[in-house]
Amino acid sequence: MTAARRIRAFLELARPANVITAFADILAGFASAGAMTGLLFGQGNAPVEELVFLLLATAGLYAGGVVFNDVFDADLDAKERPERPIPGGRTTRAQAAVFGSVLLAAGIAAAACVGLPSFFIAVAVAGCALGYDAAGKHHAAAGPIIMGLCRGGNLLLGASAVPGMPAALWFLALVPVAYVGAIVVISRGEVHGSGKRPIKFAMLVAGVVCAALLALGFRPDYRLLDALPFLLFFAFLIFPSFRRAAVNPSPAHIRRAVKAGVLALVALDATLAAGFGAWIAGLIVLALLPLSIFVARRFAVT
């Protein structure tokens, strides 16, 4: 096998389009902690170095987590997704496990360069990712919650650039916990299809998430008018795909709904960034969306 094909296989394992959405989590947490305003408008000493390390941390954590997803699912993928790198013979399970371990270790090390709170959050995110990959995904209730905790922890990881902010903003983690959990519920029908009830449940959860983002407007530090356009765009991205899947819950429609849901995480994060930062902060986060879509056309998202 050529080096180019091996690199391509490792990139497919790491789901680069999804990693870009994880960058959005970090930027949203960073903005929620008040650090984005300082960075954009030169107010105080913006923790730029901490932001760089946290972006590196989430790249390692997210990519390492999805690599181990394929490691644990290699036998199942041999039946259901033989095109994936491990069952396709483009890499071995052992090689993928080493690659995933290196990524997770690098992510935790990068977080440790910011401080102990960031280190502990990164360890928790890595633990949740491995727990989901190894066993959590097979539990109807625990699986979506554990995966949601990974994204919620990632949001707080971004907030950890500012001392004390993860504890002050813990409640924000509930937003991605609920939303990502809903996507996980839908994703279980990607191969064999699904009933309509899980998709309708996911639509209900997404509606609650939108209401929660609106309710943040009662906070004095949240600019609802800045956040509102991004929230409307988030709703535009997810609800049409979810509705089509609810009408016809075939594997193809469900895969499109899951893909739309994953990519829409960037718009959700942009809503938080605009609300706690400013509209320009939301645009910076949203700029990751076309990049993620571009990469998603070349590498698998699910």
Per-residue tens of pLDDT for the chain, all 302 residues: 566 777 787 778 888 888 998 999 999 999 999 898 877 776 667 788 999 999 999 999 999 999 999 999 888 888 878 888 888 888 889 999 999 999 999 999 999 999 999 999 999 999 999 999 988 887 877 888 998 999 999 999 999 999 999 999 999 999 999 999 888 888 776 666 667 788 888 899 999 999 999 999 999 999 999 999 999 999 999 999 989 888 888 888 888 888 888 889 999 999 999 999 889 999 999 999 999 888 878 776 66
Contact between 224 and 235 under an 8 Å Cβ cutoff? The reply is no
* pLDDT value of position 193: 61
Contact between 29 and 155 under an 8 Å Cβ cutoff? The reply is yes
* pLDDT value of position 214: 96
* pLDDT value of position 84: 85
* pLDDT value of position 227: 97
Q: Any idea where the domains of the chain sit in the sequence?
A: 9-296
Residue 234 to residues 135, 149, 227, 229: CA-CA distances in angstroms?
31, 20, 11, 9
Going by the DSSP 8-state scheme, the letter that residue 188 receives in this structure is T
Q: Please say whether the dihedral angle defined by the alpha carbons of residues 196, 198, 202 and 204, taken in this order, is positive or negative.
A: positive
**Six-digit token string for 88:** 């396709």
Residues contacting residue 287 through CB under 8 Å, at least 6 positions apart: none
Contact between 114 and 160 under an 8 Å Cβ cutoff? The reply is yes
For 134, phi and psi rounded to 5 degrees? Answer: -75, -40
**Six-digit token string for 98:** 């080493």
* pLDDT value of position 86: 86
201-204: long-range contacts, CB 8 A cutoff, minimum separation 24: 202/242, 202/261, 203/239, 203/242, 203/243, 203/246
Contact between 288 and 23 under an 8 Å Cβ cutoff? The reply is yes
The rounded distance, in Å, linking the Cα atoms of 147 and 183 is: 10
The rounded distance, in Å, linking the Cα atoms of 203 and 200 is: 5
Q: Please say whether the dihedral angle defined by the alpha carbons of residues 252, 253, 258 and 264, taken in this order, is positive or negative.
A: positive
Q: 33: helix, coil or strand?
A: coil
Enter the CATH code of domain 9-296.
1.10.357.140
The residue among 299, 302, 293 whose CA lies nearest residue 21 is 293
Burial of 217 (0-12, 13-18, 19+ CB in 10 A): middle
**Six-digit token string for 223:** 């600019």
